[in-house]
């Protein structure tokens, strides 16, 4: 049975986000930023947010586990919040504690909708993009 995509936002600290990115790299998920890039550019003390938006099932690669594609609101070392994508295993996402109230979640989704993408931020800042 396919897990139902939750309509929620989860908050994670930088260390936890790096662990999630590492897990995505181990599985070879397509939507992720390199852990080294994140380590270099994220605000180490910030809270980041994950908002699941798509159930990702790679029918052409049946060995790949089901994933939830999350929009992520990242706080970078310039203090700005930027939009990225991260594929996460449903079981991994469900283990992230639910800590935000409804008003906070709505605010974060609004910020996600207005945030510049990682690509736009990289181009503006002149930094090397993750691959």
Q: Rounded mean pLDDT of the chain?
A: 91
Rounded to an integer, what distance in angstroms lies between the CA atom of residue 101 and that of residue 93?
17
Spatial contact of 50 and 85, defined as CB atoms under 8 Å apart:
no
Spatial contact of 27 and 61, defined as CB atoms under 8 Å apart:
no
Rounded to an integer, what distance in angstroms lies between the CA atom of residue 36 and that of residue 3?
31
pTM given for the model: 0.90
Spatial contact of 24 and 87, defined as CB atoms under 8 Å apart:
yes
Confidence of residue 131 (pLDDT cuts 50, 70, 90): very low
Each residue's pLDDT tens digit, 40-50: 999 999 999 99
Each residue's pLDDT tens digit, 59-99: 666 777 889 999 999 999 999 999 999 999 999 999 999 99
């Amino acid at each position: 049975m396919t897990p139902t995509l939750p309509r929620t936002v989860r908050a994670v600290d930088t260390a936890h986000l790096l662990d999630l990115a590492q897990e995505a790299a181990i599985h070879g998920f397509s939507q992720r930023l390199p852990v080294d890039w994140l380590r270099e550019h994220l605000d180490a003390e910030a809270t980041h947010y994950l908002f699941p938006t798509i159930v990702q099932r790679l029918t052409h690669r049946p060995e790949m586990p089901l994933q939830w594609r999350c929009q992520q609101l990242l706080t970078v070392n310039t203090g700005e919040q930027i939009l990225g994508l991260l594929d996460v295993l449903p079981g991994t996402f469900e283990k992230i504690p639910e800590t935000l109230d409804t008003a906070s979640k709505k605010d974060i989704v609004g910020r996600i909708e207005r945030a510049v993408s990682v690509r736009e931020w990289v181009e503006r800042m002149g930094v090397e993009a993750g691959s």
